[in-house]
Chain A
């Protein structure tokens, strides 16, 4: 196989790149297989080998043999636990090809890492243990591989030595897998029996399995066609940044993601829809006569048009879609569940916006491929969702063009990447609902009422005294001639939110609706008092984000749980303790305390009247500010 001479030769222009991932269940021998590929293609160097022998002796699980898994299990925690817990990237080359390998973990809770490895791959090697055959994980990984658009799958049936190199056993597993893959719709499946530990059929034919006439795993990797070349598709380039080194130069930098472009071509800038002609394609190596998919370039347009980061330059004749609502598969990667209605940051190519899931259509059981109804997505769940974005996004369906068909969701509080999205199609209905520009605006309505409208958002446990305080405050404001309204949790649930329960997903929707109503009322010039338990920080923040600076006043009604439970004005705590009410805040559902409320009321230390005095004083300060 690819010795040193081959490798040198391989730097020539003909050598191609294949990105593939390996996946399988725990102990199927993924790391060993990659270690074997590196070792047999002579990419293991002397000092690495010395470290490997030392590691194998100290921690090894294969007696005195060299444990090839140590070549790839990078983090110390993993070496000690004997499992791979994170995606590792490895590089090797043969005379024909350069390879980038993503070694992905088999443990269920790390499925998100598998999706990560699959997102950039052209081919997947799925390992199974010949003794165990297809497992839940095998099906799960195959489904993710298919979902992420990988067209080529190699099933490596490992540990053939432990089933006495049985052809019948191999055929049985291969047939079962082909049947499953066909149901998924994976177009290209190859099965190969291997022994990663000894290298049989990995880089060379295994004499132990004379009955197998097919190519070795490495030969398959060398011959499989890499990803489809998007050069033949219409031109698309997401703008990364605007280059303005001086007053005479204005260019738009980015990587072409599909098609070709040449000076003189007519382009459309989306989402604005403006049309312009390409004047120059600038690179540090000189202007180009044509740029194609993959190229990092800077495009100068002949006309002065407004272009900024996040816009997409596209062929004028063949535009991609633009929509603010679309259907997408979502792979959930967050520890906290995905709740419809909760806002997340979204990044799609270079476009950024806020996204909420407006409907979770179904969750997919990846073992049976069954679609089931669900209210939320937990870690490693996959579902088909409708999403709504804060602004229109330029996109293509994922299966048409990964670069414009994929997005990530980011938690607004933790900044963690919590979801990976694959766009299926745009939803058109939003196009017909336009914002109506109104003549009488919020300022005019407020002026007519001689007050500064705002939303006082009371949050706290059930029985903390929110309603009592809100009612008292409302009376005092009303007596002062203010125009007010109270939105009370219980009351709203009798009408507007009658259809909602108390599961997390319902609580999020409950708050979203109330926040939107409160916003309309503030627009109308009212002082709105909202009295809701609103237990989650994310939703209180969502509510806050609807308002302008200074309009939202978070009032934390802070009463210890024991005191609330002792008061128990509606007998709810007793019922919750008896198990008659589920998801009761403070008992079996969490209350996340506000971190920086505008007002923090300690109800045990002052009378309700005194606390309302404090609120009024604060309001007076705000309206004079």
Chain B
């Protein structure tokens, strides 16, 4: 505890408060676990918030089937280590239709296997609150997101009808079939997340640390050849480069950066030197201006 700076301690206290509000105010919450660093922090905070009890909600992973193999291994190990319930949901229809980021592009793949799949899972289990690790500093339209954000029965987000959020009093009321998205990390920055991981020794997927990995260069991005499903274009030959990831998603859509940072301290150092924001490594945000806002209206997290 004393290792945390005043600033991180305040962020931690606020996030714990938010997680406890969710547990107290909703019938059936769920924590969206995407295996990345933000999810790792979120899970760590949930373990702290309810100690000595376990978090009173399951984890949900919406699996697009294109995650890095190391992510899935880390997910299963984490759940086992902490003794938590994990629900894995895959859009079986999308899978049967053979939707993939390689053949259908990032927009279709993300919509079917992530956005639609998430809606399916929330409807299937009847969750009334979904806790996610999104932060306001990630993207411009996220900067205006509430901590407790209402979604319609169709899971749509209406930026014009957001509830004012004053002090730390959260309006958690829902009408039938509506649901809430809750973002306990709203006030954290990328640097806060890394500093906290370092201070609290939180386990994260090894892909965040630099190592020699097979990559190909496409459209200025380094794509890791994680398995045989990535068709190589003419003349492309995987090269071993010393790379790491600042953000983790579907492997064909997630760019690596060249780096030698092999420890948390080195990552934090690299980050404060960096002049590139983390979402640059994501193909899906670039489709068009305001693309995150559009996805959110459709129900993307």
A64 at the interface (CB under 8 A from B): no
B147 to chain A, nearest CB (A): 10
Bound-state Cα–Cα, A284 to B294, Å: 39
Give the shortest distance, in Å, between B186 (CB) and chain A (any CB).
7
B13 in contact with A284 (CB, 8 Å): no
* Interface check A152, CB cutoff 8 A: no
Q: CA of A45 to CA of B276 in the docked complex: distance in angstroms?
A: 5
CB pair A350–B24 under 8 Å, yes or no, is yes
Q: Is the interface of A mostly helix, strand, loop or mixed?
A: mixed
Chain B residue nearest to A51 (CB atoms) is B289
Among B49-57, B90-98, B111-119, the one that faces the other chain is B49-57
Which range holds the interface residue count of chain A? 35 or more
Judge whether A90 and B277 touch: CB under 8 Å: no
Closest chain B residue to A148 by CB distance?
Answer: B166
Q: Least Cβ distance of B282 to chain A in Å? A: 11
A235-249 with Cβ < 8 A to chain B:
240-241, 243-245, 249
With the chains together, A14 CA to B5 CA distance in Å? 7
Is B293 within 8 A of A296, CB to CB?
A: no
The reply on B175 being an interface residue by CB < 8 A is: yes
| Nearest chain A CB to B200 CB, angstrom units | 9
Q: Does A115 contact B (CB under 8 A)?
A: yes
Determine if B175 and A88 form an interchain contact, defined as CB atoms under 8 angstroms apart.
no
Indicate if A410 sits at the interface (CB-CB under 8 A).
Answer: yes
Known: A241-B23, A350-B24. A74 touches B164 (CB 8 A): no
Report whether A91 and B137 are in contact in the complex, using a CB–CB cutoff of 8 Å: yes
Contact of B140 among A17, A73, A348 (CB under 8 A): A73
Measured CA separation A375–B239 after assembly (Å): 75
CA distance A116 to B170 in the complex (A): 12
Q: Look across to chain B and name the residue whose beta carbon is closest to the beta carbon of A409.
A: B171
Residues of A9-47 at the interface with B, using a CB-CB cut-off of 8 Å, are: 11-17, 45-47
Quick check: is B81 within 8 A (CB to CB) of the other chain? no
Whether the pair A45, B1 counts as a contact (CB closer than 8 A) is no
Q: What separation, in Å, do the CA atoms of A171 and B130 have in the docked complex? A: 53
- How many chain-B residues does the 8 Å CB contact rule pick out? 68
Closest to A49 in B: B275
A415–B164 contact, CB under 8 A? no
Contact A86 B159 (CB under 8 A): yes
Q: Are A347 and B171 in contact, CB atoms less than 8 angstroms apart?
A: yes
Q: Known interface pairs A74-B141, A74-B144, A253-B20. Does A15 touch B52 (Cβ–Cβ under 8 Å)?
A: no
Bound: A192/B37 CA distance, A: 41
Residue of A nearest to B15 (CB): A296
Contact flag A415-B171 (CB < 8 Å), given A7-B272, A249-B52, A309-B24: yes
If A254-B20, A282-B51, A309-B24 touch, whether A15 touches B6 (CB-CB below 8 Å) is: yes
B229 contact set on A, CB distance < 8 A: none
A417 touches B171 (CB 8 A): yes
Given contacts A75-B293, A243-B52, contact A420 B24 (CB under 8 A): no
Residues in B neighbouring A415, C-beta threshold 8 A = 150, 171, 173-175
B238 CB to closest chain A CB, in angstroms? 26
Query: Within 8 Å of chain B (Cβ to Cβ): is A76?
Result: yes
Q: A11-B5, A284-B51, A285-B1 are in contact. Are A240 and B24 (CB under 8 A)?
A: yes
Q: Which of B1-52 contact A (CB under 8 A)?
A: 1, 4-10, 12-13, 16-17, 20-21, 23-24, 47-52
Chain B, 228-239, contact with A by CB distance < 8 Å: what is the 0/1 string?
A: 000000000000
A89–B51 alpha-carbon span in the complex (Å): 31
Interface pair B143/A74, CB less than 8 Å apart? yes
State A243–B55 Cα separation when bound (angstroms).
Answer: 11
Is B75's CB within 8 Å of the partner chain A? no
Given contacts A76-B289, A245-B53, A296-B16, contact A11 B159 (CB under 8 A): no
How far, in angstroms, from A80 to B72 measured CA to CA in the complex?
42
Could you say which of A176-184, A399-407, A427-435, A537-545 contacts chain B? Answer: A399-407
Residue of B nearest to A45 (CB): B277
Nearest chain-A residue to B275 (Cβ)?
Answer: A46
In Å, the complex CA distance between A100 and B14 comes to 14
Contacts A12-B5, A74-B143 given: A417-B163 contact, CB under 8 Å? yes
**B7 near A98: Cβ-Cβ < 8 Å:** yes
Per-residue CB contact flags for chain B residues 88-129 toward chain A (1 = under 8 Å, else 0) read 000000000000000000000000000000000000000000
- Taking CB atoms, residues of chain A closer than 8 Å to B277 are 45, 47-48
Q: Closest Cβ of chain B: how far from A62's Cβ, in Å?
A: 18
B259 shortest CB reach to chain A, Å: 16
Q: Is A397 an interface residue (CB 8 A)?
A: no
The answer to the question of A349 belonging to the interface, with a C-beta cut-off of 8 Å to chain B, is yes
Stretch at the interface among B60-68, B187-195, B207-215: B187-195
Residues in B neighbouring A251, C-beta threshold 8 A: 52
Q: List, in ascending order, chain B residues with CB within 8 A of A333's CB.
A: 164
Is the Cβ of B136 less than 8 Å from the Cβ of A89? Answer: yes
Is B269 close to A, CB under 8 A?
Answer: yes
Contacts of B142 in A (CB 8 A): 74
Contact A91 B136 (CB under 8 A): yes
Q: Is the CB of A345 within 8 A of B5?
A: no
Contact check, A119 vs B167: say whether CB atoms are below 8 A apart.
Answer: yes
Q: Is the CB of A11 within 8 A of B144?
A: no
Q: Does A443 contact B (CB under 8 A)?
A: no
For chain B residues 162-202, which have a beta carbon within 8 Å of chain A?
162-171, 173-175, 186-187, 189, 191, 195
Q: A75-B141, A116-B164 are in contact. Are A241 and B20 (CB under 8 A)?
A: yes
Could you tell me the distance between the alpha carbons of A4 and B272 in the complex, rounded to whole angstroms? 5
Closest to B188 in A: A91
Evaluate contact between A240 and B168: CB separation under 8 angstroms.
no
Given contact pairs A245-B54, A410-B173, A75 touches B272 in the complex (Cβ within 8 A): no
- What is the bound-complex CA distance between A13 and B161, given in angstroms? 39
- Give A69-87 interface residues, CB cut-off 8 Å to B: 71-77, 79, 86-87
Partner of A17, one of B10, B17, B173: B10
A296 CA / B47 CA spacing, docked (Å): 13
Give the complex CA separation of A16 and B279 in angstroms.
27
Asked if A452 is an interface residue, CB under 8 A from chain B, the answer is: no
Name A87's closest neighbour in chain B (CB-CB): B144
Asked if A190 is an interface residue, CB under 8 A from chain B, the answer is no
CB within 8 Å of B: which A153-171 residues: none
A76-B290, A241-B24, A402-B167 are known; give 7 further A-B pairs, CB within 8 A.
A45-B277, A76-B294, A79-B289, A116-B166, A241-B23, A296-B49, A406-B167
- Can you pick out 6 interface pairs between chain A and chain B where the beta carbons lie within 8 Å of each other? A7-B191, A45-B274, A89-B144, A91-B187, A402-B167, A410-B173
- Return the 6 tightest CB-CB contacts between A and B, nearest first: A76-B290, A245-B53, A74-B140, A284-B51, A296-B16, A284-B48
Q: Which residues of A contact B (CB under 8 A)?
A: 4-5, 7-8, 11-17, 45-48, 55, 71-77, 79, 86-91, 93, 98, 100, 112-113, 115-116, 119-120, 240-241, 243-245, 249, 251, 253-255, 282-285, 294-296, 298, 309, 333, 345, 347-350, 402-403, 406-408, 410, 415-417, 420
